[in-house]
Amino acid sequence: MLAERIAELITPAIEAMGFELVRVQVSGSQRPTVQIMAEPASGRAMSVDDCAEISRAISAVLDVEDPIAGPYSLEVSSPGIDRPLTRPKDYERFLGHEAKIETNAPLDGRKRFKGPIKSVSGDAVELTVDEADVRIPFTAVHKAKLVLTDALIALHQAAEHNEQKED
C-alpha cells in the first residue's frame, strides 16, 4: 500500500528531527494528496514552523525515493485535540478519555463503538460502552479518534499552560 511505503520512507527523517509519525493518508488519483500527521516526541504542542520543517525534510526524501508517479500535493499537520488514535501508546496516553472506534468487521453485531478508554493490553483496547466493557483487538480497528469533550479540552489547555511556563 502506498501510504505504508511512504511511512517507511519518511519515518527515519521525522524521528531524527524529534517528531513521531502519527498517520499517513493518500487520497485522490489525478493529483494525489499526501497527508502527513506528526507530533513532537517530547509531547509539546506542534507549531506551524514544525510543520514547515517536516514538510521540507520529507519533500526531499520523497523527491529522491519517488514513490508517487506524477505530481502530488503534500500536507503536513498536527493531530489536533480530537486526534486519531493510530498506535497503542495513543490509547494509553488518553486512558479515561472518550473515543470513537470503527471496526473492519462487526464485533458482537456492531462496528461502531463510543466510550471512555478503560484499558490497553498488548493487542487490544477496552472501552466502556453502554455500561459494558468491550475489548477491541487493534487488528480489528478500521479507524479511531478521540471525542472532543470538556475533559479533553481541559487536558489540552493544561498542557499548553505548562508549555508556556517553560518558555
Q: Which of 33, 57, 77 is at the close of a domain?
A: 77
Same domain, 102 and 70: no
| Backbone torsions φ then ψ of 85, nearest 5 degrees | -105, 110
Distance of CA 77 to the CA centre of its chain: 10
pLDDT of residue 6: 95
C-alpha cell at 11: 519515518
pLDDT of residue 51: 95
Same domain, 117 and 147: yes
Q: What is the domain extent for residue 51?
A: 2-77
Residues 43/159, Cβ–Cβ less than 8 Å = yes
Q: pLDDT per position in the chain (167 positions), as tens?
A: 899 999 999 999 999 999 999 999 999 888 999 999 999 998 888 889 999 999 999 999 999 998 998 899 999 999 988 899 999 999 999 999 999 999 999 998 999 999 999 999 989 999 999 999 999 999 999 999 999 999 888 887 777 666 666 55
Answer yes or no: is 138 within a domain. yes
The amino acid occupying position 8 is: E
